[in-house]
Amino acid sequence: MVNLGMLKRESMSDKASQEAEEETVEEEPVVKTREPLSVLEILQLVNHRDLLLADTHIQELERECELLSLLPTPTTPTLTPTLCPSTPPAMIPLSSSSIDDSLSSNATLDSSRRKAKDVELLYEALQKEMWDVVRESLRQPSAGPNLGLVVLVIQQEDHADAAWALREETKPEREGPQVQPSHRPRRLKMKWRQAVAEAADWSLPHQVDTQAGQLASYLERLRSRMVDDLDAARRNAVSIYPEEFAAFQVYVESYHRAVAKRLRTITSGPLQITDVYSLLDWFYNIYNRDVLGTIGTISPINYSPLEAILPQDTVDRLEQDCISIVREKVTTELMQVLDEEERRWAQSLHIEEYQSHLARSVIQRLKVDLDRSTSVNQFLGARVARCSLTGLADFLYNFQRKVEMFHETQAEFGDRGDGYVSRTIALVNCCPPLRSFVERCRQCDPQGSEESGPRANSSLDRIVNQSVKVLTDRLFEHIRPFFDKLIKRKWLNNTEAFEAIEASIKQHFKRFRRMDAPPYQTLVGEVHRRVLVEYVRAIMRGRVICTSSKMRKRMAFRLQDEAKQLKGLFKDLESSSSWLDSVICHLADIILLEDTPSIQMEVAVLVKEFPDIRKKHVSTLLNIRGMMRQAERQEILNIVKDFECSSVLMCRDHALFSDIPITSEVHCISLGFLRLAMTVSNWFSEHRPRRNRRTSARNAMPQPAENMEDVNKLQTEE
């Protein structure tokens, strides 16, 4: 800290040396009173910034004015004493002493007034230099001694104010008006605070050349200048001030008010939305964190005197502007984007495009406001998210309706070329990013999205499900005829039908893979399910009836082999519906197994994994494997009956057999095949030559009769 006492002694040393020189010039050792400095000499001291000495001489001049003001105020001399009424006025004699006294009093009064005016002019010049020093101290690497002189002047003037106040309290009241009213107290400390405020206002940049939408750059310059100036004030100036000045707090409050003044000017006119977000972010976050927070780390700050840099009603108005602009976007701009996209669908249907710019365009328009508002604060982000989600739900409903009309139009005109498939995939690919953005809006405003969120997701689900159905139906238009060739006598020796199904699926999925996840998972899962449904339906038609153990093994092994191939196929296609892979193997095992307990266990596993299987399905399987004994069939069918009774709720995710109805016609055809097979078997058994070495065959001769009895019992089954 600069030693203020040393500064005071140095400032007064010039005065003492001048007086010493005057005394040495005198030849006679006669003590003479020092002549006061003239106004011009004092002004030169001020201009040379010898501020303390100048203030001392100004106070001396001010005391002379006070002494002159204490002289008795002259009254108008009585020129007409008691006279005889007959004496004319022109003949009244005037006293020469009265005239001299009157002239002397008027000269004193004029001198007092001139000196008082000189004092005020000198004080104005002194303060101008003082406040220039205060302002310049922010830009100098070191404040130097001049700022210390300013402090000494302020302290000296404070003492003079205190002495004046004491005299005013103790002096008796004088009769008559005072010649010249005193300008005390001068309150230089208060004016110093004003000077610091003016210096802060002078230093901070003004918004002159800032263009619309570029407010963030101006606010950054404002932040940088305030932090730099206060850091410089702390390093260069604050240490010179005594503690009672609370200099750093005064500087902080002055800059704070200067910033608030600029922000009020900015918000008095219209603002673009980007400038509104920048201003709100600066108000809520940057100013407190990067300005006051940074300054507070270098020196303690009392935050209580600092008022908000923006009035609350102004902040509310700015936030409402944000909501209004977002509402306008989601109601007007998004519909224009959707209309333009719909026109492109018809114009580019012959072009294979698997991606659409619709989702990105919509999200970019809304994401800007959501990002900026959430960066401001959570409350504003929630309000913007609620407004965005409400408008987005309406937009997605309109999007869904236009997608439905697109598919209906294509179905009506039969224009389902390659461009139609790619356009369908492109529309589906819009859904994942839009769904992610809907979820983000819901996270920003969980309570306000209870209605809009499900409504938006419902529209997206409809778009995905319809597109998946369109593509799946298109695939099955090609492969359904091949399923009609499965599970026949010819199928046991010919793999062409199955290979055609497998090849067609692979060919279609070369394009279907262009669909993004998770809709792709929905598509491949639905194709996986429908392929297995059609395959099991082909089995349940009962077009192959096994009449021997060899035939059962042949059929079961073929089923297991194709089940393995289907499993590998859909694994390569990244299907997540692996629960479907076991159904054909279970059916094959039921056909293959010989003993009833093993078949019962396999049926129990099948029913547990596929709760929608019914008794008729299992009965058809028993027909296919050639099981005709009523007792054995009933033991196995009871397993299904027990599970049907205990299964109250069926898991729809694992529903497969509910799409595979079993008609009575199929059952009758199966029985007819069984009767014919048993008749042929009996005929061969009766007409085959008997051989002694095959006694086991002779012992088995009554078996066909028992089988025929079982066949007759099947007519009354179920």
Looking at 573-625, list the stretches that DSSP marks H as alpha helix, in order from N- to C-terminal side: 583-592, 596-609, 615-624
C-alpha 540/C-alpha 663 separation (Å) is 10
Could you give the angle at which helices 273-281 and 215-232 cross, rounded to 10 degrees?
Answer: 30
The overall longest dimension of the chain from CA atoms, in Å, is 199
pLDDT by residue (tens digit) across 239-280?
889 999 999 999 999 999 999 999 999 999 889 999 999 999
Task: Report residue 420's pLDDT band, with 50, 70 and 90 as the boundaries.
Answer: confident
What lies within 8 Å, CB to CB, of 355 at 6+ separation is: 426, 429
Task: Report residue 495's pLDDT band, with 50, 70 and 90 as the boundaries.
Answer: very high
**Is residue 348 classed exposed, middle or buried when 0-12, 13-18 and 19+ CB atoms within 10 A define those classes?**
middle
pLDDT of residue 482: 95
CA 1 centroid distance within chain: 49
CB 478 within 8 A of CB 486: no
CA 422 centroid distance within chain: 34
Residue 469 φ then ψ, to 5°: -65, -40
Q: Concatenate the DSSP letters of all residues of 332-355 into one string.
A: IIHHHHHHHHHHHHHHTTTS----
Closest CA to 613 of 575, 586, 576: 586
Task: Report residue 641's pLDDT band, with 50, 70 and 90 as the boundaries.
Answer: confident
Instruction: Report the range out of 11-20, 129-138, 467-476 with the highest average pLDDT.
Output: 467-476
Average pLDDT of the chain is 81
Who wins on pLDDT, 384 or 19?
A: 384
Residue 397 has pLDDT above 90, yes or no: yes
C-alpha 222/C-alpha 266 separation (Å) is 13
CA 545 centroid distance within chain: 66
What is the Cβ-side half-sphere exposure of residue 54, based on CA atoms within 13 angstroms?
A: 29
pLDDT of residue 79: 44
Instruction: Name the least confident of 590-594, 597-601, 693-697.
Output: 693-697
**For the range 620-623, what are the long-range contacts, defined as Cβ-Cβ under 8 Å and sequence gap of 24 or more?**
620/540, 620/542, 620/662, 620/666, 620/667, 620/670, 621/539, 621/540, 621/587, 621/590, 621/591, 622/590, 623/542, 623/545, 623/667, 623/670, 623/671, 623/674, 623/714
pLDDT by residue (tens digit) across 317-368?
999 999 998 999 888 999 999 999 988 887 777 778 888 999 999 999 999 9
What lies within 8 Å, CB to CB, of 460 at 6+ separation is: 396, 400, 431, 434, 435, 438
Instruction: Name the least confident of 56-65, 108-117, 436-445.
Output: 108-117
pLDDT of residue 99: 45
Total residues belonging to the chain: 718
CB 531 within 8 A of CB 566: yes
Residue with tokens 């009767």: 675
Residue 715 has pLDDT above 70, yes or no: no
Task: Report residue 701's pLDDT band, with 50, 70 and 90 as the boundaries.
Answer: very low
Looking at 513-629, list the stretches that DSSP marks H as alpha helix, in order from N- to C-terminal side: 519-540, 549-572, 583-592, 596-609, 615-624
Across 58-72, average pLDDT: 77
**Is residue 84 classed exposed, middle or buried when 0-12, 13-18 and 19+ CB atoms within 10 A define those classes?**
exposed
Across 629-643, average pLDDT: 85
The pair of structure tokens assigned to 218 is: 């101006």
pLDDT of residue 629: 87
Return the percentage of the chain with pLDDT > 70, whole number.
76
What lies within 8 Å, CB to CB, of 135 at 6+ separation is: 195, 198, 199, 202, 203
Could you give the angle at which helices 630-646 and 596-609 cross, rounded to 10 degrees?
Answer: 30
The pair of structure tokens assigned to 79 is: 């020129």
pLDDT of residue 28: 43
CB 129 within 8 A of CB 47: yes
**Is residue 680 classed exposed, middle or buried when 0-12, 13-18 and 19+ CB atoms within 10 A define those classes?**
exposed
pLDDT by residue (tens digit) across 122-170?
989 999 999 999 888 877 766 668 888 999 999 999 999 888 888 888 8
pLDDT by residue (tens digit) across 211-224?
777 899 999 999 99
Residues of 266-293 as b/e, b for ≥16 C-beta within 10 angstroms? bbeeebebebbbbbbbbbbebbeebbbe
C-alpha 374/C-alpha 356 separation (Å) is 28
CA 499 centroid distance within chain: 53
CB 350 within 8 A of CB 403: no
Handedness of CA 701, 705, 711, 714 (dihedral sign): negative
pLDDT of residue 98: 46
Dihedral, 207, 212, 216, 221 alpha carbons, nearest 10: -30
End-to-end CA distance of the chain: 110
CA 626 centroid distance within chain: 68
C-alpha 471/C-alpha 467 separation (Å) is 6
pLDDT of residue 74: 55
The pair of structure tokens assigned to 671 is: 């029985």
Across 38-53, average pLDDT: 89
Coil, helix or strand for 487?
coil
CB 331 within 8 A of CB 391: yes
pLDDT of residue 718: 38
Who wins on pLDDT, 454 or 691?
A: 454
Coil, helix or strand for 296?
helix
pLDDT of residue 93: 47
C-alpha 76/C-alpha 403 separation (Å) is 108
pLDDT of residue 69: 65
The pair of structure tokens assigned to 610 is: 């596929």
CA 84 centroid distance within chain: 105
Q: How far apart, in Å, are the Cα atoms of 538 and each of 116, 557, 565, 597, 661? A: 121, 16, 17, 27, 11
pTM: 0.73
Phi/psi-derived region of residue 181, left when phi > 0, alpha when psi is between -120 and 50, beta in every other case: beta
pLDDT by residue (tens digit) across 567-579?
999 999 999 999 9
Coil, helix or strand for 27?
coil
Task: Report residue 22's pLDDT band, with 50, 70 and 90 as the boundaries.
Answer: very low
pLDDT of residue 27: 42
Closest CA to 180 of 104, 114, 101: 114
Closest CA to 138 of 247, 265, 29, 14: 247
What is the Cβ-side half-sphere exposure of residue 480, based on CA atoms within 13 angstroms?
A: 7
Who wins on pLDDT, 113 or 14?
A: 113
Q: What is the 3-state secondary structure (H, E, C) of 178-234?
A: CCCCCCCCCCHHHHHHHHHHHHHHHHCCCCCCCCCCCHHHHHHHHHHHHHHHHHHHH
Across 514-542, average pLDDT: 95
The pair of structure tokens assigned to 453 is: 């969120």
What is the Cβ-side half-sphere exposure of residue 300, based on CA atoms within 13 angstroms?
A: 3
Residue 92 has pLDDT above 60, yes or no: no
